[in-house]
Amino acid sequence: MKNWTLRQRILASFAVIIAIMLLMVVVSYSRLLKIETSEVAVRDDAVPGVYLSSMIRSAWVDSYLQTLELIGLREDKGLTDTDKADFKSYEARILQQMANYQATISGGDDQAEFDKFEAQHQAYNTALAAVVERLQNNDLAGARKLFDTQMTPSWVAGRMKLNDIITENKNVADRATNAIDDAVSAAKISMFVSLALAILAAGLCGLLLMRAIMAPMQRIVDILETMRDGDLSKRLNLERKDEFGAVETGFNDMMTELTALVSQAQRSSVQVTTSVTEIAATSKQQQATATETAATTTEIGATSREIAATSKDLVRTMTEVSTAADQASVAAGSGQQGLARMEETMHSVMGAADLVNAKLAILNEKAGNINQVVVTIVKVADQTNLLSLNAAIEAEKAGEYGRGFAVVATEVRRLADQTAVATYDIEQMVREIQSAVSAGVMGMDKFSEEVRRGMFEVQQVGEQLSQIIHQVQALAPRVLMVNEGMQAQATGAEQINHALVQLGDASSQTVESLRQASFAIDELSQVAVGLRSGVSRFKV
């Protein structure tokens, strides 16, 4: 075990204790299984067997006593229905309890004894049936004879067998109880023995672990006491291959490094003293430079404040210019929108003029059609006039008989003349309409041409206005850029001013810091002296 690590020793100690506890658990569990087996035997076999066999014996005795009462106490009364019902009730009780007992049988000997009782029960039932038959026939003497010679011996044998069964079940219960007592006693003994072994193993393992830990710890404490006195030349030698071996290696390496560090500190203490003196001189020079820097920063701060004020004025002016440019852009945009609406309106007017021209053309065409119809009507009127003239001539030829027809022909000619006059008037009116339509078409053409010229001029004005808007809009970002630049310049001037204020504060703080650094350097010089005196006590 000397080469075992602490981890292995601790695990081995716990393993021994756990193994003893597991052994105790296994032994206790086996005893509990035996107790459980005995308890099951008592619960399911012995106790139910005693109870049920006692119930069978009770019904067995009741049946016999009922028969004895019928034979000895009720002479010449015969067998009543109540007696028959009692016999059936006793037999039902016996059969029910026998079935219940049969369900609890678990051993071969118990089954053999119960089979013998069933044989006695069959013989008893046969004798009882014969006795009951004699009683029903009022043959009391024959019934008594069968009762004495057959029924009573069968009943006595059955009762003895029931007593044997009860005794056997009681013996089974006693054996199971004794087995439970033995198992409990053995479990107690095994638990006490296992507990004693566990305590003994735990104490032994604890003692071994304590010896394995405390011995090297004491040697480490001794080395630390030597180190506290300033002797760094000692080394730890534990001769262990466990975790303490790793501690030994690390401790010795640390001591070697610490020895080198102390030696270096002893050599460096003199250098620190020299360096502190040089730093003190440099600090005084920096203090003078910082004072001059603070004065220069104050002058630059005044100039930057003037620049910031001028930048703010320029920002205000550029803001006004930007606002005017935005307003001009908005006004130009509104004018462009009005021209766009005017252009749309003129497009609508041109469309309406084209539509009017189309309608006038259709009207001219319809007037031409009317003129053709008028010509046709004139031709028809001329033909009608000729026909009426021929009719008048024929009426003259007919004399008295054609006078009425002559009147009609005269009226027809007059209507034809009126039609010719009316068609002439219509033709004149159609010609006037065509002249008016032609004049309207020419006027609409001139109007359309004027509208087109107006649209062209509106488009030119719109394009010029678009250029103006574009230039104004292009000017606005430039003004905005200039404004932003001026704002940035003003902000930068303010930031420079703040920075210079902070720089002045920093310079003042630097001067104060350098003054404090001078005190710190003096203290550092004292510390260096203390360091040199402190490391000089170590033995390396």
User: What pLDDT is stored for residue 220 in this prediction?
Assistant: 78
Q: Can you tell me the mean pLDDT for 359-370?
A: 73
| pTM passes above 0.95 | no
Kindly report the three-state secondary structure assignment for every residue of 312-377. HHHHHHHHHHHHHHHHHHHHHHHHHHHHHHHHHHHHHHHHHHHHHHHHHHHHHHHHHHHHHHHHHH
Q: Provide DSSP, 472-486.
A: HHHHHHHHHHHHHHH
Query: Looking at the predicted structure, is the pLDDT value of residue 315 above 70?
Result: no
Cβ burial, residue 289 (10 Å; 0-12/13-18/19+): middle
Band the pLDDT of 115: cuts 50, 70, 90: confident
Does the domain formed by 322-519 have CATH 3.90.330.10? no
Q: How far apart are CA 265 and CA 536, in angstroms?
A: 9
Band the pLDDT of 226: cuts 50, 70, 90: confident
User: What pLDDT is stored for residue 274 in this prediction?
Assistant: 73
Task: Give the class (CATH, top level) of 6-221.
Answer: mainly alpha
User: What pLDDT is stored for residue 517 in this prediction?
Assistant: 62
Query: Looking at the predicted structure, is the pLDDT value of residue 101 above 80?
Result: yes
Q: How far apart are CA 30 and CA 391, in angstroms?
A: 158
Query: Looking at the predicted structure, is the pLDDT value of residue 468 above 70?
Result: no
Query: Looking at the predicted structure, is the pLDDT value of residue 290 above 60?
Result: no
User: What pLDDT is stored for residue 303 in this prediction?
Assistant: 65
Please enumerate in sequence order all residues whose Cβ is within 8 A of that of 296, keeping only pairs 6 or more positions apart, or say none: none
Task: Give the highest mean pLDDT range of 87-91, 247-251, 289-293.
Answer: 87-91
Q: How far apart are CA 177 and CA 166, in angstroms?
A: 16
Query: Looking at the predicted structure, is the pLDDT value of residue 375 above 70?
Result: yes
**C-alpha separations of 432 from 364, 368, 426 in Å:** 11, 12, 10
Residue 462 in contact with residue 339, Cβ under 8 Å?
yes
Tokens of 256: 């070697």
User: What pLDDT is stored for residue 339 in this prediction?
Assistant: 63
**C-alpha separations of 219 from 216, 232, 234, 235, 244 in Å:** 5, 15, 12, 11, 11
> So where are the chain's domains?
6-221, 322-519
Band the pLDDT of 478: cuts 50, 70, 90: low
User: What pLDDT is stored for residue 493 in this prediction?
Assistant: 58
Band the pLDDT of 336: cuts 50, 70, 90: low
| Buried-state track 461-499, b at ≥16 Cβ within 10 A, e below 16 | ebeebeebbeebeeebeebbebbeebbebbeebbebbeb
User: What pLDDT is stored for residue 384 in this prediction?
Assistant: 78
User: What pLDDT is stored for residue 318 in this prediction?
Assistant: 61
Average pLDDT over the chain, rounded to an integer: 74
Of residues 10 and 336, which shows the higher confidence score?
Answer: 10
pLDDT in tens, 36-75: 777 776 666 667 777 788 888 887 888 788 777 777 655 5
Please enumerate in sequence order all residues whose Cβ is within 8 A of that of 387, keeping only pairs 6 or more positions apart, or say none: 412
